[in-house]
Amino acid sequence: MKRTVTFLPDNATVSVDDNANLYKAVKAAGVYVLSSCGGKGNCGKCKVVIKEGTVERGKSNSYLSSEEIKRGYVLACHSQVKSDLIVEIPQESRMQAKHKIATGARTEEIMKLMQEAGGCLESRISRVYLEISPPTIDDNIADYERLRRALDKAGFDASHLHMNYLVLTKLPHVLREGNWKVTVSAFNVGAVLEVLDLYPGETTRKRYGAAVDIGTTTVVVYLVDMTTGRVLGTSSTYNSQVKCGDDVITRIVYATERNGLKELQDLVVTNINTMLGELAEKNNVPPGMIDYIVAAGNTTMTHLFYGIDPQFIREEPYIPVATFFPLIRGKSIGFRIDPQAMVYSMPNVASYVGGDITAGVLVSQIHKQEAVSLFIDIGTNGEIVLGNKDWLVTAACSAGPAFEGSGIKFGMRAMEGAIEEVEISPKTYEVNYRVIGDVKPIGICGSGMIDILAEMYLCGVIDQKGKIREEIGSKRIRRGENGLEYVLAWRVESAINKEIVITEADLDNLIRAKAAIYAGFATLLSHMSMGFGDVHKLYIAGGFGRYIDVERAITIGMLPDLPVDKFQFLGNTSIMGAYYGLLCDRLRHEAEEIAKRMTYVELSVSHSFMDEYMSALFLPHTNLNAFPTVKRELEERKRPV
Amino acid sequence: MKRTVTFLPDNATVSVDDNANLYKAVKAAGVYVLSSCGGKGNCGKCKVVIKEGTVERGKSNSYLSSEEIKRGYVLACHSQVKSDLIVEIPQESRMQAKHKIATGARTEEIMKLMQEAGGCLESRISRVYLEISPPTIDDNIADYERLRRALDKAGFDASHLHMNYLVLTKLPHVLREGNWKVTVSAFNVGAVLEVLDLYPGETTRKRYGAAVDIGTTTVVVYLVDMTTGRVLGTSSTYNSQVKCGDDVITRIVYATERNGLKELQDLVVTNINTMLGELAEKNNVPPGMIDYIVAAGNTTMTHLFYGIDPQFIREEPYIPVATFFPLIRGKSIGFRIDPQAMVYSMPNVASYVGGDITAGVLVSQIHKQEAVSLFIDIGTNGEIVLGNKDWLVTAACSAGPAFEGSGIKFGMRAMEGAIEEVEISPKTYEVNYRVIGDVKPIGICGSGMIDILAEMYLCGVIDQKGKIREEIGSKRIRRGENGLEYVLAWRVESAINKEIVITEADLDNLIRAKAAIYAGFATLLSHMSMGFGDVHKLYIAGGFGRYIDVERAITIGMLPDLPVDKFQFLGNTSIMGAYYGLLCDRLRHEAEEIAKRMTYVELSVSHSFMDEYMSALFLPHTNLNAFPTVKRELEERKRPV
């Protein structure tokens, strides 16, 4: 028997079998619903409201408050369709339309930065305009040989000329269509000169490329005029893979155990295709003239982008299929723009340090400096690089995506409705907050979480271990269904007709996350027999990093207690590095050298990391002397530590 | 309205629209019918017999004898379906099951010949077995880098390693399936080491390849054990493209003006796929282990094989798209065997001198000899090479496919039912003939035609211009619908219930064809200021060449009047050369050098060719002194010339 399920507010309808899983129905309807686990049934995020009809609720109730249950909430993944349904996706489970996404420095600045980094406008793929002498009965060599001769004359070494089947097929027509005046796009691999594409007439200046940042959460695209280096347009969107899981591990599981590799690949390629298509249209760029795409992403994202099985990234000893991916044709992985376009990925270092970090180091330029610097990219994962012109070490701290909202009851990404700044009165314990978009709040984003931790700690609402001090007697402290919690926004203030709270479990998750990051810093330094005092600069990259209040992050012990002027925000270095590599083949080469130079330290098997981590599971740290600024502030507030 | 058409004897039924073209119905039913023009309506070959029902006959009658018309014959291409039909494909319009096809020297001899030509068992694609150390937490480089390192250790320069998307995708699984023992097949292009494929475990000796001769009329395949060089099996079939036209020009027209390029490509690739699949099965060769295919064919066949537009081959100044085709993947053009298999084509020289001729020169070894030799490949076309170790000149004589049966009223290829030998009594003008398969004749093949010309001339049935001498008063000479004709087989003797005759028009076509070949020889020699006396050897290659009686061919002036021991039959040098190139990369390279060295002489614009041709439009030649043997025989027969 078939059942009709209608999803509100989209009014999307889908026909499913009786007893179908409601989460699958949501996906089949093409509607978005929040989910961190990809429908595996253990994240408790895919809350929907049954407005009409009947479902079998499964284990929904164990993830829902009694009030939610009363109001018709179920978890889609635990529910079976038992009748025709009308289902509402409530606001907190929806993808928000307006959101804050960092696309890096302003595009006009990026070219300047690239030039300062030694970059130029010499891409891997070059174009050359040829005026070829037409064949005659006395000069009757074949088209292919004629082109070779013309390339030779133009100064290319075409003794190992190659073109793929598609180009060969169109060769005779392009030559004649352009009346033997053609533009050739070509690149070298080894001693081979590969003709990438051919165009009738002179098109050397109609040359476009795309830089892409494939974040676990966000995908950013720059459309670039390759002749001038100008960024014609930028676009960003949530990585549609999010619906299959919030973090890289869940996605690897989805790809391997749930046979979703192709689906994951399609999702992200479609994201890029869509953005690139829109950018091209908006800027009157013929899509067939976009012939080079450089992407940067973490190692798992790179594997998924290529449709390469990421299984062994997750299994000890954590081996990626490739760190340096070969140059491939975009059409192999589903690109719809120029079918001949080449795709390059910024080189990865190891399973948990990817091309986004190589790109980041390239942008930070720490690999050229005398002084030792730290580089950290705080996104869905946290990757750290320490080094200078002589050496580079790197590690990934499995901080988990807590600061992205995952595992936090009201956690969400930095989009409209997210509490992003919080102040707690040390006297009344009352709360002031600021919400992105100045609307009623629906949850808390990462910067809000740092604020909450810092404020609660400084005001004594929580102790050094992150436990709520019930004894202070605030009406905001109450015992919820999962233990003690602190009310940030009352029901009337919120947009979701519910109190927005932070629970002790949330606090615990956040402390674990910040401890992992700090322990990463500390371990890498001790690996090199150094201390924080040896660090000249600390560069913070990543979408999330952009909104961190450094002092607050020091307060909770996420960042080391260094003078504020040692911190520098770099923005989205992943997209910037991809842009560098796209335009300048010298910098692309430099990125490969960076990746080769980086020594990867596997923290998951490091005893010293475990020690550092345990010590960091306090606010700000078991050793308060390592945080003199925090110590001073606590003293100023005249509170016992 | 739909009409049902049933074709006998196959009993194949097809449903077509009322008024549909009957030739298209034949093709739609998947039934074979002879056609030289591909259904354009001007070859008069697609004769079928309407057994039941009605057709609109169109211009059929102008191609049919009154007797044929009476018996229900129509030309399929000129007929429109007007009712349900039962149509017989008469024997003379059918593809014969048993046929004589030359597959070259016996396979056990070929390896010896290759070795004598300096060949070895070092193919372009090599295999190496690697035992790779498995990854550990301390040695955690990516699979791709691990393979690169192992290849480096094994003595390959893997600094420019490449693998395509498919191989990359399977890399992690093959490595682990083989427990880090893998066999890599790889080849070099420029400085790039391309991993063609990967196999778990040790498969270095399970390596197979295919040599293919793509003739205009016949396709031959050798399945070769690449480790030993042994030819495991051979197979041949008619080139299915024949149904789209008999000769290269008709096929080019079919490809370009009739949009049939893809169809032509599919036809020949299907021929090869089918034969290769059967050979592999028969010899227990895993199809996935056939990773290299080397094909040789004329320039048009090579273009069609690749699906490359051959249009400009036919238009002055006669330019092919490529003479040296790049190495491509078999799957690009539809090969179903190993999807990774590479396809190479023996290099072409010009639009009308193809890879089959380069292969032939390689096999003949004339390019290494001190003395000057002539090489001729007489197939559907006639290509000639003259030269020695210092120089090579080549030309194509547009002899046309008369000796293949095209343009000859009862012409057919050398298959069962073909008259292959003819003797005419100089006294009674009665005929003795021998038929392939010792059955009742249905037509005349090339060697039969040479015999007929020679015998008719020597016996005085025709004069020096090929005109039938009605005055001799033989009952075999009669006035047919198209002028004078000579009856070779009476109706009761034939398998087609019709007299088999040779007409004056046929004789004219044959004389034109033989004249073109002879003029080709003469022009190339005079181009080098040489005469036939300077020719040390005359090598004859090609399926047709194998069955020529040299003395008879001299009699009609097709071959020059040289001592018989100067002629040497080489068999199918196209498949042999492909086999050389497949197994031995040094010989493949030698073939490329041969192709580069050959100077192409365009006869179609040569005045001296036209002069030679006009002089050769006599039997044997206007200058009988150039044919002393023939002169002597005529004198012995005491007949005035």
The pLDDT, as a whole number, for residue A544 is 66
The pLDDT, as a whole number, for residue B93 is 79
Give B340's pLDDT tier (boundaries 50, 70, 90): confident
Write down which residue in B481, B507, B533 finishes a domain: B507
What is the per-residue pLDDT across A548-565, written as a single tens digit (0 to 9) for each?
A: 889 999 999 999 999 999
Question: Which of A142, A311, A602 is facing B137, going by the closest CB pair?
Answer: A602
What is the per-residue pLDDT across B109-153, written as a single tens digit (0 to 9) for each?
A: 888 999 999 999 999 999 999 999 999 999 999 999 999 999 999
What is the per-residue pLDDT across A302-360, written as a single tens digit (0 to 9) for each?
A: 999 999 999 999 999 999 999 999 999 998 899 887 778 999 999 999 999 999 999 99
What's the rounded Cα separation, in Å, for the pair A94 and A35?
10
- Helix-strand-coil percent breakdown of chain B, rounded to 5? 35, 25, 40
B581: containing domain: 365-401+511-636
- Helix-strand-coil percent breakdown of chain A, rounded to 5? 35, 25, 40
The pLDDT, as a whole number, for residue B403 is 85
What's the rounded Cα separation, in Å, for the pair A143 and B350?
11
A525 and A613 share a domain? yes
What is the per-residue pLDDT across A227-267, written as a single tens digit (0 to 9) for each?
A: 999 999 999 998 999 889 888 999 999 999 888 999 999 99
A-chain residue closest to B317, CA distance? A137
Q: Tell me which of A421-430, B277-286, B591-600 is least confident.
A: A421-430
Average pLDDT, chain A: 91
A528 and A391 share a domain? yes
Give A124's pLDDT tier (boundaries 50, 70, 90): very high
CATH (domain of B147): 3.10.20.880
Does residue A613 fall inside a structural domain? Answer: yes
What is the per-residue pLDDT across B543-589, written as a single tens digit (0 to 9) for each?
A: 666 678 899 999 999 999 999 999 998 888 999 999 999 999 999 99
Q: Is A565 on the interface with B (CB under 8 A)?
A: no
**Which of chain B's residues have a Cβ under 8 Å away from the Cβ of A307?**
169
What is the per-residue pLDDT across A136-146, written as a single tens digit (0 to 9) for each?
A: 999 999 999 99
Residue A243: strand, helix, or coil: helix
What's the rounded Cα separation, in Å, for the pair B446 and B542?
12
DSSP, residue by residue, B574-615: HHHHHHHHHH-HHHHHHHHHHHHHEEEE-GGG-HHHHHHHHH
Q: Name which residue leads in pLDDT, A244 or A27.
A: A244
**Which of chain A's residues have a Cβ under 8 Å away from the Cβ of B173?**
309
CATH (domain of B28): 3.10.20.30
DSSP, residue by residue, A403-419: GGTTTSTTB--SBTTEE
Q: Is A351 on the interface with B (CB under 8 A)?
A: yes
Average pLDDT over residues B526-535: 96
Does residue A518 fall inside a structural domain? Answer: yes
B523 and B550 share a domain? yes
pLDDT at residue A371 greater than cutoff 60: yes
Least Cα distance to A616 among A571, A529, A553 occurs for: A553
pLDDT at residue B397 greater than cutoff 60: yes
Q: Do A321 and B172 touch (CB under 8 A)?
A: yes
The pLDDT, as a whole number, for residue B241 is 95
Does residue B114 fall inside a structural domain? Answer: no
Give B275's pLDDT tier (boundaries 50, 70, 90): very high
Question: Which of A137, A323, A326 is facing B142, going by the closest CB pair?
Answer: A323
Which helix or strand (DSSP H or E) is residue B297 part of?
Answer: strand B290-297
Q: Tell me which of A78-82, A101-105, B246-250 is least confident.
A: A101-105
Most A-contacting residue of B192, B198, B305, B318 (CB-CB within 10 A), to test interface: B192
Does residue B99 fall inside a structural domain? Answer: no
B-chain residue closest to A325, CA distance? B144
B313 and B270 share a domain? yes
> How far does the CA of residue B24 sit from the closest CA of chain A (Å)?
28
pLDDT at residue B640 greater than cutoff 70: no
CATH (domain of B288): 3.30.420.480
What's the rounded Cα separation, in Å, for the pair B485 and B408?
12
Average pLDDT over residues A195-223: 94
What is the per-residue pLDDT across B436-447, written as a single tens digit (0 to 9) for each?
A: 888 999 999 999
> Backbone phi, then psi, for A384, in 5-degree steps?
-125, 140
Q: Is B365 on the interface with A (CB under 8 A)?
A: no
A20 and A145 share a domain? no
CATH (domain of B574): 3.30.420.40
Does residue B234 fall inside a structural domain? Answer: yes
Q: Which long-range contacts (CB under 8 A, 24 or more apart) does B41-45 make?
A: B41/B75, B41/B77, B41/B78, B43/B246, B43/B406, B44/B75, B45/B93
Q: Do A308 and B351 touch (CB under 8 A)?
A: no
B262 and B392 share a domain? no
The pLDDT, as a whole number, for residue A398 is 78
What's the rounded Cα separation, in Å, for the pair B509 and B365?
33
Q: Tell me which of A150-154, B104-108, B520-524 is least confident.
A: B104-108
B132 and B173 share a domain? yes
B500 and B521 share a domain? no
A-chain residue closest to B348, CA distance? A142
Does residue B139 fall inside a structural domain? Answer: yes
Does residue B104 fall inside a structural domain? Answer: no
pLDDT at residue A595 greater than cutoff 50: yes
pLDDT at residue B408 greater than cutoff 80: yes
> How far does the CA of residue B604 sit from the closest CA of chain A (Å)?
10
B628 and B576 share a domain? yes
The pLDDT, as a whole number, for residue B274 is 94
Give A438's pLDDT tier (boundaries 50, 70, 90): confident
A145 and A225 share a domain? no
What's the whole-model pTM score? 0.81
What is the per-residue pLDDT across A500-537, written as a single tens digit (0 to 9) for each?
A: 999 999 999 999 999 999 999 999 999 999 999 999 99
**Do residues A295 and A346 touch, judged by C-beta distance below 8 A?**
yes
Q: Is B141 on the interface with A (CB under 8 A)?
A: yes
Residue B569: partners with Cβ closer than 8 Å, 6 or more residues away: B539, B540, B541, B545, B546
Does residue B103 fall inside a structural domain? Answer: no
Average pLDDT, chain B: 91
The token duo for B122 is 């070092």
Residue-level length of chain B: 641
Question: Which of A143, A308, A324 is facing B319, going by the closest CB pair?
Answer: A143
pLDDT at residue B641 greater than cutoff 60: no
> Backbone phi, then psi, for A610, in 5-degree steps?
-60, -40
pLDDT at residue A96 greater than cutoff 50: no
The pLDDT, as a whole number, for residue B544 is 67
pLDDT at residue B97 greater than cutoff 50: no
The pLDDT, as a whole number, for residue B405 is 82
What's the rounded Cα separation, in Å, for the pair B325 and B310?
14
Q: Is A315 on the interface with B (CB under 8 A)?
A: no
**Do residues B114 and B581 touch, judged by C-beta distance below 8 A?**
no
The token duo for B194 is 């391309």
Write down which residue in A473, A507, A541 finishes a domain: A507
What's the structural domain count of chain A? 5
- Asked if the ipTM is above 0.85, the reply is no
Q: Is B312 on the interface with A (CB under 8 A)?
A: yes
B525 and B392 share a domain? yes
The pLDDT, as a whole number, for residue B546 is 64
The pLDDT, as a whole number, for residue A217 is 85
Write down which residue in B167, B200, B233 finishes a domain: B200
A630 and A545 share a domain? yes
The pLDDT, as a whole number, for residue A457 is 95
